Amino acid sequence: MLRRVAPLAALASVALVLSGCSTVGDLVDREPARPTVVGTQTPPAGMEGTDAFYAQKLQWTRCSGGLCAELTVPQDYAKPDGDTITISVLRVPARKESKRIGSLVVNPGGPGGSGVDYARAADFIVGSDVRQRFDVVGFDPRGVGRSEPIDCVSDSELDAFLGAEQTPDDAAEEHEFAANAKSFAQKCGQNAGPLLGHVSTVDAAKDMDVLRAALGEPKLDYLGKSYGTYLGATYADLFPQLVGHFVLDGVVAPDLTSAEVNLGQAKGFETATRAWAQFCIDKGTCPLGGTVDQVMQGLRDFLKRVDEQPLDKTGDAAVTQLTEGWASTGIAAAMYDQGMWDTLVEAMRAALQGDGSDLMGLANTYADRKPGGGYSGNIMEVIYAVNCLDKPESPSVPEHEAAAEAARAVAPTWGPFLAWSSLTCGSWPVKTERSSEPPQKVTAEGAQPIVVVGTTRDPATPYEWSVRLHDQLAKSSLITYDGDGHTAYMRSNSCVDDPIDEFYLTGTVPKDGLKC
């Protein structure tokens, strides 16, 4: 998510399974240490006092899927002489070293998706010619995965939080929902440590420039998907002169307010689910109805029944009941890729007969959760830690109730679910200047042209957000993909893939307004 919708982690995991790569952490734990000055890169404006960090040289060691290293950065950029943290990095070398162009840094989204695991799937996330000539480099952003991971609650507590009431129907349920949201926020404050106040997107963007310097690159070449576009746009606004070839696919415009994110995603998921409903009908014998409206109403009726009486069959020893929260999460997971639509049809068929195992399996994929208990990563905790620092949010229950009703009017299936999802940030235990200010537009004045990609029926990052960022950037080119699913590049559409590959390889900017 951006709020409760976790972008590309699931798709990255699928690619890793196909490639045979392990997602198990394989980096050696080391005490953070101030880097030794060995290079000549100097900090750009706004990064004063970080000379030693910019001069460090990465020490690469072989690891699963490529070469691993650790980057040292300040915990707090306002106090560069204070504590440091380490950022885990993985580099998959270019296949043709003799024709190598440089490093392409990638981020799969989240916030909370592992860039290390994403880079391991290099053969699947960039075009073959790009793969030949670029080192594909991924990093786990601060607080994520192997980079000083934020840990708010135990696995069992996270299971309970995700499975709890998500769309309160009356005052008692609203009180319980608010108490759960506040408890989760308080536990993050108690357990996550001092880094909790320094995991904003701005902090991660600054880390990315230190990484650029450590890689020896004069400018940053970058592929960001979903939340990764927010990170990339933030970087471009901070360091416009250091922008190389940037592709932002499935855009989260940085100037979106929390309310706009929630409502935009609600509309996006409603549109995507209606497309799935038509798919279900076209297959024949759709278990939810014979028209799109009937299927959508059938889905809502099912979620209401599960809210009142959860399914006892989940196929999961740690989660013994499929609640509305888990069922909604499973349905949402399938909206990211049409390849999962068949799975959802059969999962719904089984669930309507009392077996929630397949829906629970989809929910596990979404939450980066292991069947039977435990989590492969910490995306479902980091997603709040980053969002709550990035955007101000009201703690008012009545305000969220009103927002839920307004969202229900335009997105009856997903509106309340997403409108309530950000209440946790209203009680967040740490604030920054940025988290108290309205979000700002990004222009990246002075940057090279940035390629923006939008998918017309993208559930998590509505197409309108790509247009919004394209209109704000000083120089950009927009590619529109008329299709379903989340993001467009490397999803089997040469009209999208070929010009992006050419952009990375030659610098030729795709024609603005290209429609695919």
Tallying the residues shown for the chain, one arrives at 516
Measuring CA to CA, which residue among 394, 381, 13, 412 is closest to residue 199?
381
CA distance 454 to 482: 9
Catalytic residue among 226, 421, 435, 477: 226
Q: Is 313 helix (H, G, I), strand (E, B) or coil?
A: strand
CA distance 306 to 324: 5
Residue 10 structure tokens: 């699931």
The reply to whether 209 belongs to the active site is no
The reply to whether 486 belongs to the active site is yes
In order, the DSSP letters of 19-82 are HT---S--PPP----PPP--------TT-TT-HHHHT-----EEETTEEEEEEEEES-TT-TTS
- Contact between 254 and 224 (Cβ < 8 Å): no
Catalytic residue among 221, 355, 458, 497: 458
Q: Is 289 helix (H, G, I), strand (E, B) or coil?
A: coil
Measuring CA to CA, which residue among 368, 412, 169, 386 is closest to residue 258?
386
CA distance 459 to 373: 27
CA distance 342 to 19: 23
Element (H, E) at 479: strand 476-484
- Contact between 161 and 326 (Cβ < 8 Å): no
CB neighbour list of residue 193: distance below 8 Å, 6 or more residues apart = none
Bridge-based pairing of strands 66-74 and 61-63 is antiparallel
Measuring CA to CA, which residue among 185, 198, 163, 254 is closest to residue 426?
185
Element (H, E) at 503: helix 494-506
CB neighbour list of residue 508: distance below 8 Å, 6 or more residues apart = 499, 502
Residue 516 C-beta-side C-alpha neighbours within 13 Å? 26
- Contact between 348 and 330 (Cβ < 8 Å): no
- Contact between 250 and 460 (Cβ < 8 Å): yes
Active site (catalytic) residues: 226, 458, 486
